């Protein structure tokens, strides 16, 4: 772990790293190479350079490759999820249309039943009115006929 020169926080991975060598050497085997990393402190956000070993440089490159592969995997999963969600939306839209048609049919059946019941109720009211008139007229005729009989004798 590398320590931030400003705040002393530990920084795990370099943002970028590269190799460097001391002076000019004629062959690659004779070169003394070392690696430099560019770090950014998570606490104070200062950027600084520090020497890192070759083992620390390789995981950084591997991390980038791994991250690219992981991102590709996540992208594929998201595309499959998107496709699945679109299919589910289509199924739900179809089901919604079916249910709306069923609700409309039930509404029409209920309205026709209400109309039928209203007709029956109005017919029963008229029958009740007629029965009241018949009973009312009979009561009135009997009382009138009784009152006429004693007066005529």
Q: Residue 14 corresponds to which tokens in the numbers above?
A: 């370099």
Give pLDDT < 50 ranges for the chain: 56-58, 142-147, 149-153
pLDDT tens-digit readout, 76-116: 999 999 999 999 999 999 999 999 999 999 999 999 999 99
Q: 37 and 2 in contact (C-beta within 8 Å)?
A: yes
CA–CA gap between residue 30 and residue 152 (Å, rounded):
156
Query: pTM to 2 decimals?
Result: 0.38
Q: What are the C-alpha distances in Å from 72 to residues 16, 61, 63?
A: 22, 17, 14
Locate the DSSP E strands across the chain: 2-3, 10-11, 16-21, 33-40, 47-52
Cβ atoms of 5 and 48 within 8 Å: the answer is yes
Query: Average model confidence (pLDDT) for the chain?
Result: 81
What are 143's two structure tokens? 């009382």
The answer to whether 58 touches 20, Cβ cutoff 8 Å, is: no
């Amino acid at each position: 772990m590398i320590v931030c020169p400003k705040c002393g926080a530990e920084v795990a991975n370099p943002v970028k790293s590269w190799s460097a060598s001391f002076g000019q050497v004629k062959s690659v085997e004779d070169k003394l190479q070392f690696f430099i990393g560019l770090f950014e402190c998570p606490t104070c956000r200062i950027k600084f350079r520090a020497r890192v070993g070759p083992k620390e440089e390789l995981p950084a490159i591997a991390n980038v490759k791994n991250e690219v592969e992981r991102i590709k995997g996540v992208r594929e999963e998201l595309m499959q999820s998107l496709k699945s969600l679109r299919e589910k939306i289509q199924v739900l839209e179809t089901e919604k249309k079916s249910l709306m048609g069923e609700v409309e049919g039930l509404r029409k059946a209920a309205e026709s039943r209400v109309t039928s019941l209203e007709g029956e109720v109005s017919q029963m009211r008229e029958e009740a009115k007629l029965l009241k008139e018949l009973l009312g007229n009979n009561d009135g005729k009997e009382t009138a006929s009784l009152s006429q009989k004693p007066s005529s004798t």
